[in-house]
Amino acid sequence: MPFADLSDVRIHYRLDGAEHLPVLVLSNSLGTTLDMWKPQIAALSQHFRVLRYDTRGHGESGVTPGPYSIAQLGGDVIGLLDHLGLQRVHFCGLSMGGITGMWLALHHADRLNRLVLCNTAAYIGQPENWTNRAALVEREGMAAITAAVVDKWLTPDFSAQQPELVQRLQTMLGATSPSGYAANCLAVRDSDLRAEIQRIQTPTLVIAGSGDIPTPPADGRYLADTIPGARYTELYAAHLSNLQQVEGFTQAVLTFLGS
């Protein structure tokens, strides 16, 4: 189980694919681990050396005192790349991972080749919603939100067909550190990139889910319309489009990165 010891946090990561291939970084959503990308790895690792990591406060990575910031999470990515001796990479982030990707494109564009922003937004939700959620999990634990949050990750019809996947996601979310989750909630709360994303010059693909409640298609279209030259793809999915539309999602990423 590989770890990178950065200046103030230990980051758990995993590499798949041959060393000579270009590197693609995958960044997880709030409340998940690097395992959320499992359905993509077989196909992506044929073309890329795939680098997955647990965001600070999640999975096997360290849980440092919060609140966190997106700049802090983006700095962790740069620290991980430096640790591994990687100068330039493709980056694909979903939800909170997508916000991290936007920050990287704004502040470390020299480290990115191409950017994929999935089920994300330049500004997500009302601040009080994040403040209240962070307070709830710190007070009552992850069980207080697990069922309600996972309900928004997949469309109802798909959830009904995939009870084992729903259970795995509930287990993954439920195992997340409450303090780490809360600290990341506040990072999302305090991030508003709407006035900045027009400066992104990294070639960008935006993937949205037609049934996504936390980051609806209008948020994805805003990104695609505002980031110069960005492409837009919409899939029939809720918030975790990579899990609901495995083949469609993976093919969209491969086509964009290979074009």
pLDDT in tens, 104-150: 999 999 999 999 999 999 999 899 999 999 999 999 999 999 999 99
Give the burial class of 164: count Cβ atoms within 10 A of its Cβ; 0-12 exposed, 13-18 middle, 19 or more buried: exposed
Determine the Cα–Cα distance for residues 57 and 94; give it in Å rounded to an integer: 16
pLDDT for 94 equals 98
H or E segment at 242? helix 241-244
Determine the Cα–Cα distance for residues 21 and 198; give it in Å rounded to an integer: 31
Determine the Cα–Cα distance for residues 4 and 81; give it in Å rounded to an integer: 10
| Average pLDDT over every residue of 162-168 | 98
pLDDT at 92 over 90: yes
| Average pLDDT over every residue of 211-233 | 98
pLDDT for 238 equals 98
The region, left, alpha or beta by phi > 0 then psi within -120 to 50, assigned to residue 20 is alpha
pLDDT at 259 over 80: no
| Average pLDDT over every residue of 175-192 | 98
> What are the E-state strand segments in the chain?
3-5, 10-16, 23-27, 49-53, 89-94, 112-118, 204-209, 231-235
**In this structure, what are the phi and psi dihedrals at residue 47, rounded to the nearest 5 degrees?**
-115, -20
Determine the Cα–Cα distance for residues 3 and 66; give it in Å rounded to an integer: 21
Q: Are 131 and 66 in contact (CB under 8 A)?
A: no
**DSSP code at position 82:** H
pLDDT for 1 equals 74
